[in-house]
């Protein structure tokens, strides 16, 4: 399975998750959508890890992600001022992806100061309440530093245990409402199902317009918000 199909699975499952979270009224149908949506973020994390591994211009890659984050935040600011719905920082998937890339770059130095530099990145992500917080960042580091599917699975399980069954950010008093809402639910464990398509990933890129997601992500949020307001 090429990265093209990993991206499509991530985009489709993310969209289903957001539709379920904001538009679906029936509790059972909403739960099904949220369960399906658990596959999305780990696949995005894999994309960042693979992007770091294969990019020929890390500065350009960072700038692309920052551009995506800025566009998404601008769209969310419009939604906030126009409709009073505040998604500022907390619903922007580009932010944990950018922070995760920074953490992966630091960790990949394999120096003590690189490992140490990851800590303030994790703390800052929790402090500004990014989506998935430290969990999302560490998942990118995990996929970026480990290739073995079995070791990835062990690491993913341990990471999930720390943030779901033993909610570290909540215990430290630094978790935000969005993260608690996600991690207090048992179905977050089903993010582990993302290891199935990850296991079939063959390391090839496939053909995919790299700018598609940068446009699709803010656009689909606006459409979902507008549908929720007017129906």
Backbone angles phi and psi of 200, in degrees to 5: -90, -5
pLDDT recorded at residue 10 = 96
Cα separation, 225 vs 85, in Å, equals: 9
Q: What does R_g of the chain's alpha carbons equal in angstroms?
A: 17
Q: What is the mean pLDDT of residues 181-203?
A: 84
Using the predicted structure, report yes or no on whether residue 77 has a pLDDT greater than 90. Answer: no
The mean pLDDT of 46-65, rounded to a whole number, is: 91
The number of CA neighbours under 13 Å toward the Cβ of 129 is 15
Residue 143's pLDDT is 96
Length in residues, the chain: 231
Distances (CA, A) of 142 to 95, 149, 159: 17, 11, 9
Average pLDDT, the chain: 85
CA distances from 91 to 4, 36, 55, 83, 189 (A): 24, 18, 26, 16, 20
Looking at residue 177, its pLDDT comes to 47
Q: 163 falls in which pLDDT band (50, 70, 90)?
A: confident
pTM for the full predicted model: 0.87
Q: Is the pLDDT of residue 86 over 80?
A: no
Q: Tell me which long-range contacts 126-130 makes (C-beta under 8 A, separation of at least 24).
A: 126/169, 126/174, 126/175, 126/176, 127/174, 128/89, 128/95, 129/89, 129/90, 129/176, 129/178, 129/179, 130/89, 130/90, 130/92, 130/95, 130/96, 130/99
Q: Answer whether 34's CB lies under 8 Å from 193's CB.
A: no
Q: Which two tokens stand for residue 120?
A: 């303030």
Among 117-126, 157-166, 194-203, the minimum mean pLDDT is found in 157-166
User: Out of 2-6, 87-91, 147-151, 174-178, which region has the weakest mean confidence (pLDDT)?
Assistant: 174-178
Question: Long-range contacts: 209-215, Cβ < 8 Å, 24+?
Answer: 210/64, 213/7, 213/11, 213/68, 214/64, 214/67, 214/68, 214/71
Selected residue with higher pLDDT from 170 and 131: 131
- What is the share, in percent, of the chain residues with pLDDT greater than 70? 85
Under the banding of pLDDT at 50, 70 and 90, the label for residue 173 is low
Q: Where are the alpha helices (DSSP H) in the chain?
A: 3-22, 27-37, 40-54, 58-83, 94-108, 112-127, 133-145, 149-160, 168-171, 177-183, 195-200, 212-230
What's the average model confidence in pLDDT over 170-177? 55
**Cα gap 14→19, rounded to integer Å:** 9
User: Sorting pLDDT into bands at 50, 70 and 90, what band is 54?
Assistant: confident
């Amino acid at each position: 399975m090429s990265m093209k199909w990993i991206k499509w699975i991530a985009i489709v499952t993310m969209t289903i998750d957001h539709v379920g979270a904001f538009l679906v009224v029936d509790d059972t149908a909403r739960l099904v959508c949220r369960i399906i949506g658990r596959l999305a973020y780990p696949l995005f994390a894999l994309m960042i890890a693979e992007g770091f591994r294969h990019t020929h211009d890390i500065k350009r890659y960072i700038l692309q992600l920052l551009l995506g984050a800025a566009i998404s935040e601008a769209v969310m600011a419009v939604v906030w001022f126009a409709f009073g719905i505040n998604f500022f920082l907390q619903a922007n998937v580009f932010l944990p992806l950018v922070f995760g890339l920074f953490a992966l770059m630091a960790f990949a130095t394999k120096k003590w100061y690189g490992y140490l530099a990851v800590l303030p990145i994790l703390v800052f992500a929790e402090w500004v309440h990014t989506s998935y917080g430290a969990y999302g960042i560490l998942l990118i580091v995990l996929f970026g530093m480990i290739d073995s599917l079995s070791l990835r699975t062990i690491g993913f399980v341990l990471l999930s245990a720390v943030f779901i069954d033993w909610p570290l950010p909540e215990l430290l008093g630094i978790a935000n409402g969005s993260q608690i809402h996600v991690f207090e639910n048992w179905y977050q464990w089903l993010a582990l199902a993302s290891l199935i398509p990850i296991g079939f990933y063959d390391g090839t890129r496939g053909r995919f317009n790299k700018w598609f997601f940068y446009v699709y992500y803010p656009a689909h949020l606006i459409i979902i918000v507008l549908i929720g307001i007017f129906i």
